[in-house]
A = this chain, B = another copy of it.
Amino acid sequence: MDTLETRELRYFVAVAEELHFGRAAERLGMAQPPLSRAIQQLERRLGVTLLDRDRRGVSLTGAGEVLLYEGRAALDATSAAARRTRRAGGVDHPDRLVLAVKAAGSHELVQRLLDAHAAQPDAAELEVLPCGICEQEELLRDGRADAALMHAPFNNLAGFDSEALMSEGQIAVVPTGHPLATRPALTLAEVADVPGLPIARWPRDGVYPPGPGPEARDLTQLAQLIALGRTLAVVPDSARAWLWADHTAVPLTDAPPVVTHIAWPAHSRSRALAALVRTATQL
């Protein structure tokens, strides 16, 4: 049983994502024929059909979907190996940690963590890597970050080690001037089906959940959509920090609490990371 080469996985993932040999080849910086041949060889070696080439396009078979998912994980693990090795032996301080923090997250908790960490006598250098709404998991998996602040249940903690740091309620952010903005408190049921004000959606595990609300890629988009009176958002209490003048926050009485965790790759054996986690849990 011969093992898959990284190159083959890269090629297949590109084709599976593009569903088009020409575009995939372009993305890979190569010509289309060798790419076609490489995929055929891969299918032969695995003894499995990965792609259905009907007329009018390419589509994934069941096995192809499995390989897309597992192959991405393997490629992430491979680049994590390279990155972490480089960092471990780099000229810069080997005790250097990268903490991925959602740019929209609570500034206050991060500040307290940074201060407490810096106060440690033998603190490792700590770099903060701001990231998008649900990007932390990818950063941890492919080694660009050593730890991340995640927010259950929005982030998926499966596959990582983690410790809970704090818990908070949620609020509804509605356009100032909307009738709901005058209410002292709301329930999830009350904000679920407001005519003309559907709940905004943002990516979870890379895809947007279904629903009528508009899609927001980052916080600025979301804030603008709210200010324009197009949507309302359900967000953690600490999000009050970034509210605009055109936003009004209304507490939700029955929303599930949002738990902020510090998460890191499972089985990590770094002493510097262990120290950071200890500091975080003692905040």
Contacts and interface: CB of A to CB of B under 8 A. Distances in A.
Contacts of A156: 267
A4 B6 contact: yes
Q: Please tell me how many copies of the chain the complex holds.
A: 2
Contact count band on A: 35 or more
A100 to B, nearest CB: 18
Contact of A267 (B48, B50, B159, B269): B159
Nearest to A80: B70
A77 B66 contact: no
Contacts of A67: 81, 84-85, 88
A155 interface: no
A161 interface: yes
B3 A47 contact: no
Contacts of A90: 47-48
Contact of A5 (B5, B46, B71, B85): B5
A7 B267 CA distance: 24
A143 to B, nearest CB: 8
Contact of A66 (B62, B66, B70, B85): B85
A74 B85 contact: no
B74 A80 contact: yes
Interface string A44-56: 0011111000000
A158 interface: yes
A51 to B, nearest CB: 11
A31 interface: no
Nearest to A75: B3
